[in-house]
Amino acid sequence: MAYTIPRPKLNWKERLFLPVFASGLAITWRHFKNRMLGRTKVTMQYPEEKWDEHLPPHYRGAPTLVTDEHGRERCVACQLCEFICPPRAITIHPEEIPTTNKWKKVEKRPKEFEIDMIRCIYCGLCEEVCPEQAIFLRKDYSITGLSRAEMKHDKKKLYELGGVMTGLVNKWNDKK
């Protein structure tokens, strides 16, 4: 149904538009002046200024693998993260831990652990699902590379990014 929009009746001052033009010019002048005097907050100039030190602790950056204070790689290659990963960015090839190893009771560890950072959507499901507190999303957000191969983080790179995480639950230490 067609309907008419009621238009306000303007008096002669409003119909002349000049007072509103003047007040509009005053507003833009105020913004211009404040910006010139540096009183206005503006966008961060990204490559020069970074937000890094202000990133919140729960920031979801690149997923990484961590070792604990005993130097043990936390991942036991259960492949839960591989299964839950929505874009299927994670590939794990497990292997058995040799019996000579100190941590042979853990039985399994990843032989290869690859996260394709082109596919990763930084959702953090891998961190949430991990029963071993082995995979964490860290604060690296600027992941770039010149080739697809470069964008695949292998096991070495992941441990390098993850580093050592202390204060985790060490459930394997008590087992014989």
Q: Are strands 63-65 and 108-116 parallel, antiparallel or unpaired?
A: unpaired
Q: Are 74 and 171 in contact (CB under 8 A)?
A: no
52: left (phi over 0), alpha (psi -120 to 50) or beta: alpha
83 near another protein (CB under 8 A): no
For another protein, the closer CB: 27 or 118: 27
- The alpha carbon dihedral of 117, 119, 121, 123 has a sign of negative
Q: Which stretch binds another protein (CB under 8 A): 1-9, 20-28, 150-158, 162-170?
A: 20-28
CB 148 within 8 A of CB 118: yes
User: By CB under 8 A, how many residues form the interface with another protein?
Assistant: 16
Query: 73: which strand partners?
Result: 67
Residue nearer to another protein on the CB measure, 42 or 146: 42
Per CB under 8 A, the segment of 41-49, 58-66, 68-76, 163-171 that binds another protein is: 41-49
Residue 173 is a binding residue for another protein (CB under 8 A): no
Residue 82, CA atoms < 13 Å, CB-side half-sphere: 14
Binding flags for another protein, 107-146, as an x/- string (CB under 8 A): ----------------------------------------
Query: What residues line the site for another protein (CB under 8 A)?
Result: 21, 24-25, 27-29, 31-32, 34-36, 40-43, 45
